[in-house]
Structure 1
Amino acid sequence: MLFSLHLVYQIKEVFQVKKGLIVIDVQDDYFEGGAMPLFEPNEALKNAIRVQRDFREKQLPIFYVQHAGTPEAGFLVEGTEGAEIHAGLLPIADENEFIVRKTTPNSFFETDLAEKLAEAGVEQVVIVGMMMRVQDPMLYLMGRKRVRKICR
């Protein structure tokens, strides 16, 4: 059984340097009725919405990482409804919100995430999303050279 990880943080402790929020794979296929529903995805969504709201209020950058899979994978297939970012967490047309498309589990590999983080002046990131047990190690290994600290 696959689990979604609920990352919870203390807002007052996090906003001391320029932060960026990375929202990973909060896409429709991971919810009820999707091609690969996860365990308690609505709890993860609720936490992600709360964190997103905090970042928007502080006008801090938000990076939505959206997986674009192949038909062979059977889920998050590019161009399908299941690959869409969940409606509860949609990005808004704003200079502080960015969509990063990826085709592998690694959010940095062959994407412009590192460049977008640098352009926004992000020194630390807060990460929320789905499939974090897969994402977390890769984000840390790839991201540690690009941002000073990854908050969890």
Structure 2
Amino acid sequence: MSKQALIIVDIQNDYFPGGKWTLNGAEAAADNAARALAAARAAGALVVHVRHEFATADAPFFAPGSTGAHVHPKVTEQAGEPVVVKQQINAFRDTSLQTILQEHAIERLVVVGSMSHMCVDGIVRAAVDLGYATIVLHDACATLDQTFNGITVPAAQVHAAFMAALAFGYAEVLSTDEYLARVG
């Protein structure tokens, strides 16, 4: 198997109940991400934590230095695990992520995190464009309802539409159970 890294995208406190931008299913997604994290650590795989932080304190969420911008305790980084702080949707843009992956000769990414329709989608598409084989664990990702042109789309449908698009042309999209059975 090619050299693989687990990328944990924006599983941060503001996305959880009591935070500034609560996502539907954040707890369940984080539980599954934690399972993938435990498996990656047990296998000695590279784990990279991606954390979004807006540039100004008046941001709607993930304000610099705030508790809401911290990585959620379910997936807290351990010593030696890189943390990439980003201010863009695409975690490769203006960050050290590509350099970290190249230094470890990574060929395949396993992606979990939030939000399905934004930063997860952004990193997966960019990763594939950069030549990485990519797996998304769909039940380890979360999002929220979206409104467009007067129509509210429930979070489950937003999530399904984005996972379907990624599965169609960008990544292998698996449940956490399917993935763990494969690597276990």
TM bin, normalised by shorter chain, reads 0.7 to 0.9
Matched residue of 1:125: which SS?
Answer: strand
Aligned-CA RMSD value: 1.3
Stretches of structure 2 lacking an aligned partner (at least 5 in a row): 137-184
- 1:32 to 2:17 alignment: yes
Q: Does 1:74 align with 2:60?
A: yes
Q: Distance in 2 between matches of 1:137 and 1:45?
A: 17
Does residue 17 of the first structure (1) align with residue 2 of the second (2)? yes
Separation of aligned partners in 1, 2:10 and 2:124: 16
Partner of 1:93: helix, strand, or coil?
Answer: coil
Q: Deviations over 1:11-36 (max 9, x none)?
A: xxxxx211101000000000011011
State the partner residue of 2:44: 59
Distance 1:20 1:101, change over 3 A: same
1:103-131 Cα shifts (integer Å, max 9, x gaps): 11110110010110111111000000010
* 1:139 counterpart residue number: 123
The residue identity in structure 2 corresponding to 1:60 is A
- Confirm whether residue 101 of structure 1 aligns to residue 105 of structure 2: no
Residue 145 (structure 1) shift: 4.1
Post-superposition Cα deviations, 1:73-114, rounded to whole Å, max 9, x if no partner, equal 2201110000000012111103xx110000111101100101
The structure with more radius of gyration: 2
User: Between Structure 1 and Structure 2, how many residues are aligned?
Assistant: 135
**Could you tell me which of 17, 30, 48 is aligned with 2:33?**
48
Unaligned regions of 5+ residues in structure 1, if any?
1-15
User: Residues 68 and 20 of structure 1: is their aligned pair in 2 closer, same or farther, counting only changes over 3 Å?
Assistant: same
The structure richer in strand per residue is 2
Q: Give the Cα–Cα distance (whole angstroms) in 2 for the partners of residues 85 and 37 of structure 1.
A: 14
The structure with the greater share of residues assigned to helix is 2
Partner of 2:177: none
Distance of 1:64 and 1:85 partners within structure 2: 8
The answer as to 2:99 corresponding to 1:115 is yes
Aligned residue identity for 2:38? R
Is the 2:112–2:120 Cα contact (8 Å) retained in structure 1?
no
Q: Distance in 2 between matches of 1:31 and 1:40?
A: 9
Tell me, in whole angstroms, the C-alpha distance in 1 between the residues paired with 2:34 and 2:70. Answer: 16
With structure 2 as the length reference, what TM-score do the two structures score? Answer: 0.70
More relative contact order in 1 or in 2 (CA 8 Å, sep 6+)? 1
Distance 2:89 2:23 in 1: 16
CA distance in 1: counterparts of 2:18 and 2:121, whole angstroms:
29
How high is the TM-score relative to the length of structure 1?
0.84
